[in-house]
Amino acid sequence: MKKNVSIIQRIGFNVAGCLVLYVLLSNFLFKQQDYAWSIDMLDDNHDFIMDNGKMNLQERYSSKLGLSYALFDSIRAKTPDSAVIYLPGKEAFFPKNQASIFTGEPFEKMWAIRFLYPRKVVTEKEYARSSYAKHIDYVIVVNGKGVERLKYSLPYPIQFGILRADSLKLTSH
């Protein structure tokens, strides 16, 4: 048997449920320090979208992420879709006691894959256990880190680059 519930009762239940949810969120979630960053981020992102609504996706990424996005955009332009790419660790992007030109977490695999897919990414953190580590095609050099993964020695030190892992020969990409 179905219970007959009038439309007014349904609306009353929905309003009551919304009020309970609002009280819980406002008293517990929004007052937690751990969640304050998410509210700030939503406000900042909303303001950015309203101020820059005519930008395309690449322009928005470039504007918000700066050189971190420019690096991944360059990697994407200079490597084929089938490439396996080595990405150095956090200390390369954010050296201790030094200002960094990067923002975000460009050393994190998920962050990199977001911009480099369908390329495979091998990070420093997973290098020892990754099955792709033996098949690296390109090495990203950041602040001089990453050159240790090249299969050759460089004729001079470099600070930044997108290098073939096996030789210095130039590619068409």
Distances (CA, A) of 63 to 60, 68, 78, 83, 154: 5, 10, 21, 27, 34
Q: What angle do CA 36, 71, 114 make, to 5 degrees?
A: 55
pLDDT lower than 70: segments of the chain: 1-3, 29-39, 168-173
Q: pLDDT tens for residues 54-99?
A: 878 778 777 777 788 888 999 999 999 999 999 999 999 999 988 8
Beta bridge partners of 138: 85, 164
Distance CA 95, CA 24 (A): 42
Q: What is the pTM of this model?
A: 0.68
Map out the domains of the chain as residue ranges. 7-58, 66-164
- Quick check: 69 and 115 in contact, CB under 8 A? yes
pLDDT at 44: 76
pLDDT at 99: 86
